[in-house]
Amino acid sequence: MHSNLPLKHLFDLPEGVIYLDGNSLGPLPRAVPDRLNQMVRDEWAGKLIRGWNDAGWMEQPRRVGDMVGALIGAAKGSVMMGDTLSIKVYQGLAAGLAMRPDRRVILSDNGNFPTDLYMAKGLIELLDRGYELRLVDPADIKGAINEDVAVVMLTQVGYGTGRTHEMASITKAAHRAGAVMLWDLAHSAGALPVDIAGSNAEIAVGCTYKYLNGGPGAPAFIYVRPDLIETIQPALSGWLGHDAPFAFDLDYRPAHSIDRMRVGTPPVLQLTALETALEVWSGLDMKEVRARSIQLSELFIEEVETRCPTLKLNSPRDPENRGSQVSFAFPHGYAAMRALIDRGVIGDFRAPDVMRFGITPLYLDEDDIIRAAEILEKIIREDLWQEPKYQIRSAVT
């Protein structure tokens, strides 16, 4: 049934490591180093500045955008790559507020990733027009959408618990109230089927270093519904978003395509790594990936709950309400995760007590899942997490 998965041979993973942190940073696809070496040698060194034309660097953000778009159900020409996710959140949110000038509420949930909320607060302070960031529990979002709301800004899959928002119904509720819908797909793209065009949402953003394996610092993306592309206000009016950047006009005139959402010079090395990494998805069906993700996640939950009863499931029990990660709460979660990583099982920790495990079927199988649970059981049963070295907090958890 799942004959295409896993694709372990396409990834460069350290020997003996079970990698359960692809929901934070995806591993290295094997094809990337050779492609980067070739790009640096033949394009950068060989072509120099001619690479912008001859090697297609200038068109790369749009070209790679279409590759990402294919994984999130977006039409060609509606996704642009570049900058960081924080920048794209800011850009998308500012554009959404401009679409509803008479409204003053940004609605989000208190389980959203902090950077989205930080960017919203910073934008509110900058605009100084009486905007309010209104936060509610994730389950209360639909009931909180009313005619005061300018933009509903949600992350489809919560970073801490893996809890999912139902995209189609929430977007419909936003539109019934006259609000703009902004989705953050950071934990969705490459993890589960997304139909952003079918949802009719105005804007979506996301990063590419998690399930899309673009590497640390890989560029973010922004989606704009096609009917809005020629009128949406970019907010950050960078040179490369100009309709004619090489006319060097002193007045800004946004491009008539998704190019208007470009800001600065594209990171060509990072985009080249991402473009190569995205080739892994050729021929894969996201429904198959999702089915396999659920199967492995259910196995992991069953194994951990049987072996480690002191750990409490922190993710939704129903797989349909859960993304491609599983979280468990444990009072000594940080130390236990450090002990786990020391023994070749890499997950991560999120405050205050959450042990997170990314279930990525492109390079995980049942044997990996069972072995990881066995090692976790040994750590918990024997209190191996109590070693002093595991109590010292690293800068990145």
Catalytic residue list contains 210: yes
Catalytic residue list contains 356: yes
Taking the C-alpha atoms of residue 307 and residue 319, their distance in angstroms, rounded to an integer, is: 20
Catalytic residue among 21, 83, 109, 184: 184
Catalytic residue among 356, 363, 368, 390: 356
Give 120-147 as a DSSP string: HHHHHHHH-S--EEEEE-GGGHHHH--T
In the chain, the N- to C-terminal Cα span, in Å, equals 37
Catalytic residue among 210, 260, 262, 322: 210
Residue keyed to tokens 């809890």: 163
- What DSSP designation does 227 have? G
Catalytic residue among 90, 113, 211, 349: 113
- Strand, coil or helix: what is 344? coil
- What DSSP designation does 160 have? T
Taking the C-alpha atoms of residue 224 and residue 254, their distance in angstroms, rounded to an integer, is: 14
Which tokens belong to 255?
Answer: 């491009």
Catalytic residue list contains 209: yes
Catalytic residue list contains 195: no
Alpha helices in 233-386 (DSSP H): 268-277, 286-307, 333-342, 366-381
Chain Cα centroid distance, residue 312: 25
Catalytic residue among 209, 211, 221, 349: 209
Catalytic residue list contains 223: no
Alpha helices in 112-231 (DSSP H): 114-127, 141-144, 167-176, 196-199
Give the CB-side neighbour count of residue 253, counting CA atoms within 13 A: 10
Which tokens belong to 131?
Answer: 């905007």
Burial of 23 (0-12, 13-18, 19+ CB in 10 A): buried
Catalytic residues: 113, 184, 209-210, 356
